[in-house]
Amino acid sequence: MTPQDIDLVQSSFAKVVPIREAAASLFYGRLFEIAPEVKPLFKGDIREQGKKLMTTLGVVVNGLKNLEAIIPAAEGLAVKHVEYGVKTEHYTPVGEALIWTLEQGLGDDFTPETKAAWATAYTTLSGVMIAASCRNIEATE
Protein backbone atom coordinates (compact mmCIF):
# COMPACT_ATOMS: atom_id res chain seq x y z
CA MET A 1 0.00 0.00 0.00
CA THR A 2 1.21 3.46 -0.82
CA PRO A 3 1.15 6.30 1.71
CA GLN A 4 -1.60 7.88 -0.42
CA ASP A 5 -3.67 4.67 -0.24
CA ILE A 6 -3.30 4.65 3.53
CA ASP A 7 -4.32 8.31 3.80
CA LEU A 8 -7.39 7.69 1.62
CA VAL A 9 -8.48 4.69 3.68
CA GLN A 10 -7.91 6.48 6.99
CA SER A 11 -9.60 9.73 5.99
CA SER A 12 -12.61 7.94 4.51
CA PHE A 13 -12.97 5.67 7.55
CA ALA A 14 -13.01 8.77 9.76
CA LYS A 15 -16.21 9.72 7.91
CA VAL A 16 -17.69 6.28 8.59
CA VAL A 17 -17.12 6.43 12.35
CA PRO A 18 -20.06 8.79 13.02
CA ILE A 19 -22.38 6.45 11.08
CA ARG A 20 -20.77 3.21 12.26
CA GLU A 21 -24.00 1.59 13.51
CA ALA A 22 -25.80 2.25 10.24
CA ALA A 23 -22.70 1.14 8.30
CA ALA A 24 -22.53 -2.13 10.24
CA SER A 25 -26.21 -2.74 9.57
CA LEU A 26 -25.72 -2.04 5.86
CA PHE A 27 -22.69 -4.33 5.79
CA TYR A 28 -24.40 -7.35 7.33
CA GLY A 29 -27.57 -6.79 5.32
CA ARG A 30 -25.54 -6.80 2.13
CA LEU A 31 -23.34 -9.72 3.20
CA PHE A 32 -26.35 -11.91 3.99
CA GLU A 33 -27.95 -10.88 0.70
CA ILE A 34 -24.97 -11.85 -1.47
CA ALA A 35 -23.72 -14.77 0.66
CA PRO A 36 -26.68 -16.19 2.60
CA GLU A 37 -24.62 -19.27 3.43
CA VAL A 38 -22.59 -17.24 5.97
CA LYS A 39 -25.59 -16.10 8.02
CA PRO A 40 -25.61 -19.26 10.21
CA LEU A 41 -22.02 -18.47 11.25
CA PHE A 42 -23.33 -15.48 13.23
CA LYS A 43 -24.85 -16.84 16.41
CA GLY A 44 -25.14 -13.76 18.62
CA ASP A 45 -26.73 -10.33 18.46
CA ILE A 46 -25.87 -8.85 15.07
CA ARG A 47 -25.73 -5.34 16.56
CA GLU A 48 -23.01 -6.49 18.94
CA GLN A 49 -21.23 -8.14 16.04
CA GLY A 50 -21.49 -4.85 14.15
CA LYS A 51 -19.81 -3.03 17.04
CA LYS A 52 -17.00 -5.59 17.00
CA LEU A 53 -16.66 -5.19 13.24
CA MET A 54 -16.36 -1.42 13.46
CA THR A 55 -13.91 -1.63 16.36
CA THR A 56 -11.75 -4.12 14.47
CA LEU A 57 -11.88 -2.04 11.31
CA GLY A 58 -10.82 0.99 13.33
CA VAL A 59 -7.81 -0.82 14.76
CA VAL A 60 -6.78 -2.10 11.33
CA VAL A 61 -7.30 1.23 9.58
CA ASN A 62 -5.40 3.12 12.26
CA GLY A 63 -2.57 0.58 12.08
CA LEU A 64 -2.04 0.68 8.32
CA LYS A 65 1.03 2.90 8.60
CA ASN A 66 2.66 0.16 10.66
CA LEU A 67 1.32 -2.95 8.95
CA GLU A 68 3.84 -5.26 10.62
CA ALA A 69 2.29 -4.39 13.98
CA ILE A 70 -1.26 -5.38 12.99
CA ILE A 71 -0.42 -8.53 11.07
CA PRO A 72 -0.22 -10.75 14.19
CA ALA A 73 -3.67 -9.54 15.29
CA ALA A 74 -5.08 -10.19 11.82
CA GLU A 75 -3.57 -13.68 11.83
CA GLY A 76 -5.05 -14.39 15.26
CA LEU A 77 -8.44 -13.18 14.09
CA ALA A 78 -8.22 -15.47 11.05
CA VAL A 79 -7.54 -18.48 13.25
CA LYS A 80 -10.59 -17.60 15.38
CA HIS A 81 -12.66 -17.26 12.22
CA VAL A 82 -11.70 -20.80 11.18
CA GLU A 83 -13.02 -22.03 14.54
CA TYR A 84 -16.33 -20.27 13.76
CA GLY A 85 -16.55 -22.01 10.38
CA VAL A 86 -15.24 -19.28 8.08
CA LYS A 87 -13.80 -20.61 4.84
CA THR A 88 -11.42 -19.04 2.35
CA GLU A 89 -14.24 -18.45 -0.13
CA HIS A 90 -16.09 -16.29 2.41
CA TYR A 91 -13.48 -13.54 2.18
CA THR A 92 -14.62 -12.49 -1.31
CA PRO A 93 -18.23 -11.62 -0.41
CA VAL A 94 -17.04 -9.94 2.79
CA GLY A 95 -14.83 -7.66 0.71
CA GLU A 96 -17.65 -7.01 -1.73
CA ALA A 97 -20.04 -6.16 1.13
CA LEU A 98 -17.43 -3.86 2.68
CA ILE A 99 -16.85 -1.93 -0.54
CA TRP A 100 -20.60 -1.71 -1.19
CA THR A 101 -21.18 -0.43 2.37
CA LEU A 102 -18.53 2.25 1.95
CA GLU A 103 -20.08 3.31 -1.36
CA GLN A 104 -23.49 3.61 0.28
CA GLY A 105 -22.26 5.34 3.41
CA LEU A 106 -19.83 7.78 1.85
CA GLY A 107 -21.62 8.59 -1.38
CA ASP A 108 -19.65 11.05 -3.52
CA ASP A 109 -16.78 10.98 -1.00
CA PHE A 110 -16.10 7.38 -2.05
CA THR A 111 -14.08 8.35 -5.11
CA PRO A 112 -12.58 5.82 -7.52
CA GLU A 113 -9.19 6.44 -5.87
CA THR A 114 -10.64 5.80 -2.42
CA LYS A 115 -12.34 2.64 -3.66
CA ALA A 116 -9.07 1.39 -5.14
CA ALA A 117 -7.25 2.15 -1.86
CA TRP A 118 -9.83 0.19 0.14
CA ALA A 119 -9.63 -2.69 -2.33
CA THR A 120 -5.85 -2.76 -1.90
CA ALA A 121 -6.15 -2.65 1.89
CA TYR A 122 -8.74 -5.42 1.95
CA THR A 123 -6.79 -7.60 -0.47
CA THR A 124 -3.63 -7.14 1.60
CA LEU A 125 -5.24 -7.95 4.94
CA SER A 126 -7.48 -10.73 3.68
CA GLY A 127 -4.43 -12.32 2.03
CA VAL A 128 -2.66 -12.33 5.40
CA MET A 129 -5.75 -13.78 7.07
CA ILE A 130 -6.29 -16.46 4.43
CA ALA A 131 -2.66 -17.55 4.67
CA ALA A 132 -2.90 -17.76 8.47
CA SER A 133 -6.14 -19.73 8.35
CA CYS A 134 -4.67 -22.16 5.82
CA ARG A 135 -1.59 -22.67 8.01
CA ASN A 136 -3.86 -23.32 10.99
CA ILE A 137 -5.95 -25.85 9.07
CA GLU A 138 -2.81 -27.66 7.84
CA ALA A 139 -1.39 -27.74 11.39
CA THR A 140 -4.52 -29.40 12.76
CA GLU A 141 -4.81 -32.06 10.07
Domain residue limits at 26? 3-140
Contact 57, 50 (CB under 8 A): no
Count how many domains the chain has. Answer: 1
Contact 126, 64 (CB under 8 A): no
Low-confidence spans in the chain with pLDDT less than 50: none
What CATH number does residue 65 fall under?
Answer: 1.10.490.10
pLDDT digits (tens, 9 = 90+) for 68-79: 989 998 898 888
Quick one: pLDDT at residue 10?
A: 97
Contact 86, 27 (CB under 8 A): no
Quick one: pLDDT at residue 114?
A: 98
